């Protein structure tokens, strides 16, 4: 069954331990002067596969409150990035993780355009760049372990398990906690994701995209993708006809050129002198 992670944002203290574990397990570097992995300016990058964003909000009485949001690939149930990748560099696994295989990547970056959450990043500074993103520590999942970020959280903000069971647990938590928003982010967004969130503040105020469709992104294009082979055959036929037409035209042109350049033997004869022209034939 598909695995998932339930994130209770009310528990997060913004320690950043998950970002450290992510870098250590995936051998990602700390780059000074680049995008930070924690704080108000934190953002995903080629070396930042997970970040903790800090948000300052205000209650009804005007007092300030801080919320910390862990952000990484959502690992969609029906990923747009996978449907856009013709090289199968991105693949959805039965365990729920969307895994990236750099050896298959051709660098087209269609996945970056397709992703509704702008997750995949490109290694612009490297001579041989590839796409990078969170792969949900797939090797650990295959061994029956939780992702590295989940395993080190001191406040148990995240829980790893079966997606259906975690959704039921999230609904119970919301039912027993009136202060929580009656919304499980990731349950239906873009057809559902493997990272699901509960919160006590509206998701749009803490950096989540709430204007995304509930339908899967690939469902918008699957009607047209079924026609791709037909269009491929038609286009190949057109190109073949153009090839033969161009070849025939070039052959005719070459023949005409040869005909006009054949030597004229009369023109090659020497002209008669004026004396020879005046001497009558006997």
pLDDT of residue 25: 96
Task: Delimit the domains of the chain by residue range.
Answer: 3-220, 226-253
Average pLDDT, integer, range 151-177 = 97
Average pLDDT, integer, range 160-164 = 97
HSE toward the beta carbon, residue 102, CA cutoff 13 A: 11
Rounded Cα distance, 201 and 59, in Å = 10
Confidence of residue 32 (pLDDT cuts 50, 70, 90): low
The least confident of 23-32, 154-163, 206-215 is 23-32
Confidence of residue 262 (pLDDT cuts 50, 70, 90): low
Return the structure tokens found at 274: 């004026």
Determine contact, residues 16/54, Cβ cutoff 8 Å. no
Average pLDDT, integer, range 151-173 = 97
Confidence of residue 254 (pLDDT cuts 50, 70, 90): confident
Return the structure tokens found at 228: 């791709």
Q: Which of 134, 117, 86, 101 is nearest to 217 (CA)?
A: 117
Q: What is the pLDDT of residues 87-129, one digit of tens each?
A: 999 999 999 999 999 999 988 999 999 999 999 999 988 888 8
- To 5 degrees, how large is the angle CA 198–CA 200–CA 206? 80
Return the structure tokens found at 117: 């959450």
Place of tokens 């995209």: 209
> Does position 276 have pLDDT exceeding 60, yes or no?
no
Query: What is the model's pTM?
Result: 0.78
The least confident of 52-56, 156-160, 161-165, 230-234 is 230-234
pLDDT of residue 88: 94
Average pLDDT, integer, range 249-253 = 80
Domain 3-220 is of which CATH architecture? 2-Layer Sandwich (3.30)
Confidence of residue 279 (pLDDT cuts 50, 70, 90): low
Strands 3-8 and 158-162: antiparallel
> Does position 229 have pLDDT exceeding 70, yes or no?
no
pLDDT of residue 17: 96
> Does position 219 have pLDDT exceeding 90, yes or no?
no
Element (H, E) at 8: strand 3-8
> Does position 140 have pLDDT exceeding 80, yes or no?
yes
> Does position 181 have pLDDT exceeding 90, yes or no?
yes
Mean pLDDT of the chain: 88
pLDDT of residue 133: 97
pLDDT of residue 29: 86
pLDDT of residue 249: 81
pLDDT of residue 91: 97
């Amino acid at each position: 069954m598909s695995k998932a992670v339930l994130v209770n944002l009310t528990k997060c203290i913004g320690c950043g331990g998950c970002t450290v574990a992510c870098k250590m397990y995936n051998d990602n570097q700390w780059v000074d002067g680049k995008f930070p992995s924690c704080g108000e300016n934190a953002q995903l990058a080629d070396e930042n596969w997970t970040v903790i964003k800090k948000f300052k909000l205000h209650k009804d009485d005007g007092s300030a409150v801080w919320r910390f949001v862990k952000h990484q690939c959502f690992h969609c149930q029906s990923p747009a990035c996978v449907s856009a990748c013709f090289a199968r560099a991105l693949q959805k696994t039965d365990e729920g993780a969307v895994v990236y295989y750099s050896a298959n990547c051709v660098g087209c970056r269609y996945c970056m355009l397709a992703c509704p959450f702008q997750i995949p990043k490109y290694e612009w500074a490297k001579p041989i760049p590839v796409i990078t993103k969170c792969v949900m520590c797939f090797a650990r999942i295959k061994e029956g372990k939780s992702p590295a970020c989940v395993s080190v959280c001191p406040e148990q903000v995240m829980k790893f398990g079966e997606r259906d069971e975690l959704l039921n647990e999230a609904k119970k938590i919301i039912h027993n906690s009136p202060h929580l928003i009656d919304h499980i982010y990731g349950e239906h967004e873009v057809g559902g994701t493997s990272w699901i969130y509960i919160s006590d503040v509206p998701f749009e105020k803490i950096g989540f995209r709430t204007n995304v469709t509930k339908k899967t992104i690939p469902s918008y294009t699957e009607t047209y993708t079924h026609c791709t082979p037909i269009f491929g055959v038609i286009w190949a036929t057109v190109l073949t006809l153009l090839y033969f037409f161009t070849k025939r035209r070039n052959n005719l042109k070459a023949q005409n050129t040869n005909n006009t350049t054949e030597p004229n033997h009369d023109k090659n004869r020497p002209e008669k002198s004026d004396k020879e022209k005046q001497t009558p034939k006997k």
